[in-house]
Amino acid sequence: MKTGSDRTAAATGLWGEQEAERLLKRKGCRIVDRRVRVGRRDELDLVALDDDTLVFVEVKSREQEDFGRPADAVNRAKRLAMSRAAVRYRRRLKQPPPYVRFDIVEVVGSPDMGSPELRHTENAFSLDRRYNPF
């Protein structure tokens, strides 16, 4: 059973993804997929196209930064999971774009606080070499 704080965190996360999507669209990216489940345990928050680059976006939302920046939560295990998911996702495409990139969008705020603080880190990390087929 979900508690009130679990529901609040889930609502903040979904809102953060929507804010990140708006930011990426303003920057000229085209969103091609949202909340993609790849395999049993991997998920991609957003997948976008930026010219001929397929962009896999991890969105990290926090109400405040008292205990560190949201991007700090993208640790080695998360980068590995995103690499694995990206390779699997790319294999599904009939004609995948030639380039891939991993971005992080930090969203600090909450739906009831108004405009959030947004930070977009392009090329936040590389594809893990054990999954690098390209």
Give CA separation, 13 vs 7, 36, 94, in Å: 10, 15, 31
pLDDT of 101 over the 80 cut:
yes
**Nearest alpha carbon to residue 8 among 59, 58, 61:** 61
123 Cβ contact list (under 8 Å, min separation 6): 101, 102, 103
Count CB-CB contacts under 10 A for residue 59.
Answer: 23
Q: What is the pTM of this model?
A: 0.88
pLDDT at res. 102: 97
51-91, pLDDT tens digit by residue?
999 999 999 988 887 777 878 889 999 999 999 999 999 99
CATH 3.40.1350.10 fits 4-60+82-131, yes or no: yes
pLDDT of 1 over the 60 cut:
no
pLDDT at res. 6: 59
Task: List own/partner pairs for 5-8 with CB under 8 A and 24 or more apart.
Answer: none
The residues spanned by each domain of the chain are: 4-60+82-131
Which has the minimum average pLDDT: 6-15, 52-61, 94-103? 6-15
Cα(80)–Cα(42) distance, integer angstroms: 10
